[in-house]
Amino acid sequence: MDFGLSQDQEMLCDAISRTLADTCPLDHVRECAEGSVPFSDNVRSALGEIGIWGMMVPEQHDGLGMTMLDAAAVAEQLGYAVAPVPFIGAHVLAPLALAQGGSEELKAHWLPRIAKGEAQIAVAIAETVEIRDRAGVDFDGAKLDGTALFALDFLEADAFLVADTAGRMHFVAGDAAGLEKVALKTIDRTRSVGELRFSGVAGEALADDGGATVRRLRDAGRVLLAADSLGAGQAMIEKAVDYAGQREQFGRVIGSFQAVKHMCAEMAARHEPCRSLVWYAAHAFDATPDEASLVACHAKSHTGEVHRFVARTSTEVHGGMGFTDLLGLHFWFKRIGFDRQVLGSPEAVRAEAAALQGWTQVA
């Protein structure tokens, strides 16, 4: 019995954490966030040396074939450092989708490139959670028409994987005729999402498995967004505690006042159990697929709620400084805001969890 990260996983976390501490200080994050494309070449190549870009690519395609718990451990570190690199879409969902439903040609061409960090495929499945602004992509058996919002890891993508309204995934080349790409600007400038407009675009349909692949992608995405928010939340708590231990008012450090101390304690008390929930959800993705969707929902919705509280409370502990751009605390605040909304805000995800358990009359 061993609940938690293995020694190997902890070593991986340490390696990433050290690399990010060296290559991804706040100044660098700020520089990337203020640029036209947020992704940092330095951080990408440094993390590439650890091998994380191919962690979810199967071994026969030059990847490491690692588990979702490994990926969650990485996502947590990236969230902790608000690292401006593509990950959830391009390095987890894309290889998962290709491995599960891609043709041999697609796999052979793209998976090794993803593993090397040489190719980036953005993934658009937002409409399988909720249709907003009448978005949605129709597939008539040959061509794709319609709009897909919130493609993850969008800017500089070489290609796209997009879900149609029937829940089937399609591969679309970045330069496909009839494809229009529009970047969306979000609160979180360490990530990139965008909109895909299709008019009679010829793609390559992945295997029609009745929505099974999309379901897996949604579960994986939710677990990893939860893991990212876990890391960002951890960083915000540590920053609040540090700040409260240094800032003096009324002749005392403010961390010695119960009002401030209790804010920190409440953050920690709500945050700490999230760690076990995220780990379990990641483990269930591989070990107990029957419950994977439900626990992924729980991890996503619960960390969404807890870390909204953490983001806001940590900012308040920092007082006026927390509100400034100067301190940069807002990068974590916004990262958490992104993690909460993408692939279903808590209410949407909970409605899905209820339906999964047969608690909803009209599914």
Partner 1 sequence: MDLDYGPQYDAFREEVRQFLQTHGHRAPDGQGRAARPSPEAVEWQKLLILHGYTARTIPKEYGGYGAEPDILKSRIIAEEFSRAGIPAGLANQGISMLVPTLLELGTEAQKQQWIEPTLNGEIIWCQGYSEPGAGSDLAALKTSARVENGDFVINGQKIWTSTAKQADMIFCLVRTEPDAPKHGGISYLIFSMDTPGIEVRPLKTMTGHAEFNETFFTDVRVPLDQIVGQRGQGWYVANATLGHERGMLGDPDALENRLQALVRLMQKERIGQGCAMDNAVLRDRLVALQAEVAAMKFNGMRILSNSLRGDAGGMAKLVVKLQSCELAHQISALAIDAMGEMGILYHGSEREREDGAWQWNYMFQLGLIIGGGTAQIQKNIIAERGLEMPREPKFATPPAVEQATAVASGQNKGAA
What binding mask, one character per residue, do residues 259-288 give for partner 1 by CB under 8 A, x or -?
Answer: --xx-xxx-xxx-xxxxxx-xx--x---x-
User: How many residues make up the chain in this entry?
Assistant: 363
Provide the minimum distance between the beta carbon of 235 and partner 1 in the complex, in angstroms, as a whole number: 14
- Does 323 contact partner 1 by CB under 8 A? no
324 binds partner 1 (CB under 8 A): no
**DSSP of 160-217:** EEEE-TTS-EEEEETT-TTEEEEEE--S-TTS-EEEEEEEEEE-EEPP--TTHHHHHH
Residue whose CB is less far from partner 1, 193 or 277 = 277
Rg of the chain taking only CA atoms, in angstroms: 20
> Rounded to a whole number, what is the distance in angstroms from the first to the last CA of the chain?
38
Stretch that binds partner 1, among 29-37, 115-123, 128-136, 257-265 (CB under 8 A): 257-265
Nearer to partner 1, 68 or 137 (CB): 68
In the complex, what is the shortest distance from the CB of residue 267 to partner 1, in angstroms, rounded to a whole number?
Answer: 9
Part of the chain binding partner 1 (CB under 8 A), chosen from 11-19, 162-170, 294-302, 307-315: 294-302
Rule CB under 8 A: choose which of 42, 60, 199, 256 binds partner 1.
256
Asked if residue 360 binds partner 1 (CB under 8 A), the reply is yes
d(Cα 289, Cα 41) in Å, to the nearest integer?
36
Tracing tokens 């409409």 back to the chain, one arrives at 127
Contact window for partner 1 (CB under 8 A) among 128-136, 196-204, 210-218, 291-299: 291-299
190 binds partner 1 (CB under 8 A): no
Please identify, among the stretches 143-151, 170-178, 213-221, 256-264, the one whose residues bind partner 1 according to the rule CB under 8 A. 256-264
Q: How many residues bind partner 1 (CB under 8 A)?
A: 50
Residues 217-246 that bind partner 1 (CB under 8 A): 237, 241, 244-245
SS3 category, 139: strand
Residue labelled with tokens 């891609």: 102
**Which helix H or strand E contains 63, and what residues bound it?**
none
**Interface positions, 54-113, toward partner 1 (CB under 8 A):** 69
Distance CA 65, CA 268 (A): 33
Kindly state the smallest distance separating residue 351's Cβ from partner 1, in Å: 7
| Helix intervals (H) in 26-93 | 26-34, 41-50, 68-80
The answer for residues whose C-beta is within 8 angstroms of residue 129's C-beta and 6 or more apart is 218, 343, 344, 348, 352
State the amino acid at position 317 in one-letter form. V
27 scored as a contact of partner 1 (CB under 8 A): no
Here the tokens at position 335 are 């990262």
Considering only 103, 181, 305, 327, the residue that binds partner 1 (CB under 8 A) is 305
Q: Which stretch binds partner 1 (CB under 8 A): 16-24, 193-201, 297-305, 307-315?
A: 297-305
Please choose, out of 133-141, 168-176, 180-188, 248-256, the segment that lies near partner 1 by the rule CB under 8 A: 248-256
**Nearest distance from residue 295's CB to partner 1, in Å?**
7
Q: Which of 117, 99, 139, 109 is nearest to 45 (CA)?
A: 117
Residue 255 sits in the site that holds partner 1 (CB under 8 A) = yes
- Nearest CA to 152 out of 49, 62, 75, 212 is that of 75
* Helix 289-317 × helix 212-246 angle, to 10°: 30
Gap between the Cα atoms of 52 and 214, Å rounded: 23
Which residues would be at the binding site for partner 1 (CB under 8 A)? 1-6, 69, 237, 241, 244-245, 252-253, 255-256, 258, 261-262, 264-266, 268-270, 272-277, 279-280, 283, 287, 295, 297-299, 301-302, 305, 346-347, 350-351, 353-354, 359-361
